[in-house]
Amino acid sequence: MSLWHDLSWVLPLRHPALTWIFEAFTLAGYPLFYLALLPLAYWLWKPRESHQLVAFLILSALLNSFLKDFFDDPRPDVTFALDGRVGGSYGFPSGHAQLAVVTWGALAIFAGTRAAKLGAAVMIVGICLSRLYLGVHDIEDVVGGLALGGLSLLLFARYREALIAQWERLPWLPQGAVLLAPLGLLPLLWPEPDGPGGVLGLSAYLFGWWLGHRLARNDNPAQPTLGGISGWLIAAGALAVLFLGLSQISTGLEALGLGEGLSALLEITVMGAYVTALAGGGRWLQRH
């Protein structure tokens, strides 16, 4: 077996302390982490740039999921795996590696500081190594994810301002139509006969994020909604509502007779809208 696919070299390196470190890094590549990161960036840091990040991240994640199902490349033997969250998904290209470059690279671009670039490099390297150490991706998977993420980031840095200008010139109706289009097109284009499945939720979240932004009144979109210690406390409470309350919407909708798939899509749409529509409410709470 070639080095590209052989993970036997990982086994002698494993140690409880290293396992804990790489588990922490790998958690930063799963959906729960992004469901917390994106709202915090929007509420507390850079709202305008957060719109760009969520769109860039979701488009990249959709592409990764499409390519995984297109190549049907199996993951390493399950005997190597220390991460049981991968399920039956395929390996190439690594989503953790690709999205690490996209996310932390974009954040470093937005921050524009050397410290941010160094922090991004640490996160990217740590997340990529974690997938090898935990035995759920081989070197080919990780290199493929890095290459795809790097190319995406270069295109993002080069063309984002031009694309944003074109997007902002569109009326709201064409914008909404563009964001809803993947919900109808992806099932038709997906390489697997079972379709994209839960991946459609990514498009629903992006549509909800846009819808909440359209509904919210933000007089200064370049400034964060919340700030200071009170802002962090409000954000923590808002995240608690997001994870503990809104994540139960689909259960209620299924009880009303809606199908499981539609209920899940509506839930993730509401979660996306909640993040951006909360801008006005969060500002009101902090002022009072």
At 284 the pLDDT is 54
Q: Report the number of distinct structural domains present in the chain.
A: 2
Q: Are 85 and 61 in contact (CB under 8 A)?
A: no
Q: Could you give the CA distance from residue 271 to residue 208 in angstroms, rounded to a whole number?
A: 7
Q: Which of 141, 169, 197 is the last residue of a domain?
A: 169
Same domain assignment for residues 83 and 187? no
Q: Which of 169, 197, 219 is the last residue of a domain?
A: 169
Any domain includes 62: yes
Any domain includes 174: no
At 275 the pLDDT is 94
At 212 the pLDDT is 93
Per-residue pLDDT of the chain (288 residues; tens, 9 = 90+): 678 888 999 999 999 999 999 999 999 999 999 999 999 999 999 999 999 999 999 999 999 999 999 999 999 999 999 998 988 889 999 999 999 999 999 999 999 999 999 999 999 999 999 999 999 999 999 999 999 999 999 999 999 999 999 999 999 999 999 999 999 999 999 999 989 988 999 999 999 999 999 888 665 667 888 888 888 988 999 999 999 988 889 989 888 888 888 999 999 999 999 999 876 555 555 555
Count CB-CB contacts under 10 A for residue 278: 23
* Element spanning 36, H or E: helix 31-44
State which amino acid sits at residue 273.
Answer: A
Same domain assignment for residues 46 and 86? yes
At 168 the pLDDT is 92
Structural domain boundaries, residue 262? 182-288
Q: Could you give the CA distance from residue 140 to residue 264 in angstroms, rounded to a whole number?
A: 33
Same domain assignment for residues 165 and 194? no
Same domain assignment for residues 164 and 48? yes
Q: Report phi then psi at 47, rounded to 5.
A: -60, -45
Distances (CA, A) of 223 to 127, 220, 232, 284: 30, 6, 15, 15
At 282 the pLDDT is 58
Same domain assignment for residues 134 and 195? no
Residues 6+ positions from 90 with CB-CB distance below 8 Å: 68, 69, 71, 72, 73, 74, 75
Q: Which of 146, 169, 192 is the last residue of a domain?
A: 169
Same domain assignment for residues 227 and 124? no
Same domain assignment for residues 160 and 32? yes
Any domain includes 238: yes
**The two three-digit tokens of residue 128, written as one number:** 């990529």
Q: Are 128 and 94 in contact (CB under 8 A)?
A: yes
Same domain assignment for residues 104 and 241? no
Q: Could you give the CA distance from residue 186 to residue 202 in angstroms, rounded to a whole number?
A: 11
Cα dihedral sign, 216-287-50-128:
negative
Same domain assignment for residues 186 and 163? no
Same domain assignment for residues 21 and 110? yes
Same domain assignment for residues 237 and 271? yes
Chain-centroid distance, C-alpha 52: 12
At 283 the pLDDT is 59
